[in-house]
Structure 1
Amino acid sequence: AGAFKHRWLDHVLNLFAYIGISVPIFWFGILLITVFAVQLNWFPSMGMRTIGMDDNWLDVLRHGVLPCIALTFYNLSSYVRYIRSNTISQLSADYVQTQLAYGATRSGILFHHVLKNVLLPVITLFGLSFGELVVGAYVTESVFSWPGMGLLGIQSITSLDYPLIMAIIMLSSMMLILGNLVADLLYRFADPRIRTLR
């Protein structure tokens, strides 16, 4: 979208991102259930397994399609907007104009120079989102009745189970620290200049 600013692809991706950011995730989940589970009957509407099919991994996969679509659509939209704005700002930088003056192709500049500079802030966002992997799906798991950490957290809050609440918060904090560590390690692969720093 950033590379094709103000073209049809940019407009389509912008529309996708704006819808994903603006629409509440619980409403989007209910919409997915209404269309794909109730009307089309393609996927199950709730739960993790069908009763009597405990050992069937394909059944678990079918139950996970709609929650994954809801979470992906919600989270991917913010990444699209962030990458687009960073790409546009990088394409207007002086080093890009210098590369164009030396005869470099636009695709070569995008994949060899701009991509590395755009990836660094995205890696930071990725590291910060590790904590959400544990407790970031409260609403989604409630809408789809998926027995995960988010639903367990809501049940522990409503039942005033303080040890379980503290355990979930501790696990989320540890995942956040782990995500920052992974982000720091990924910096070295994304930008070779960081490897030479002492």
Structure 2
Amino acid sequence: MPYEPPPELAGLTLAQIAELVQARKLPPLDKWSPSESGDSEMRIAADGRWYHQGGEIRRPAMVRAFASLLMRDDDGQHWLVTPTQKLSLAVDDAALIAIDVRQDGDALAFKLNTDEFVIAGLDHPIRVAGDADSPAVYVSVRHGVEARLNRSTWAQLAEIALAGDGTSVSSQGVTFPLVTA
């Protein structure tokens, strides 16, 4: 069956985005205890491109499949997890990229480079790192994995903040500061 990407974020209501998020069937990584571990020989570059043994993985379907198996442990190591194996992979910055954001009422919905949607809130917080000259903003996706906002998405989020108090955004009742101390 061919893959049909979801519609553009701007054309969806928050209810439709929530339905798409809920309909996505993801593997139960937190329930798996693989007995084997090793190195996947994979790397995710800071720009979101995936590599295996130095060659770029150019098939979006493969990237989406691998992304659904990603988790990050408390030490910051990223893993591809299956029921039988846990394979490490190198990640230059964040494993995923947030490529669009939309505000709908008191919710911020992000579209990722893997065609997934994330609605920021208590379970999906927004985190700011870096400094004023080179800010880095991330949204939590799942299993410790984060998506870094690309430049245009960061600019969109800054506009949302400027329309409010100028220093923070809110989503689902949670306020996230966009400036570092």
What's the TM-score once normalised by structure 2's chain length?
Answer: 0.25
What's the TM-score once normalised by structure 1's chain length?
Answer: 0.24
Structure that is richer in strand per residue = 2
Larger radius of gyration: 1
The structure whose RCO (Cα within 8 Å, separation 6+) is larger is 1
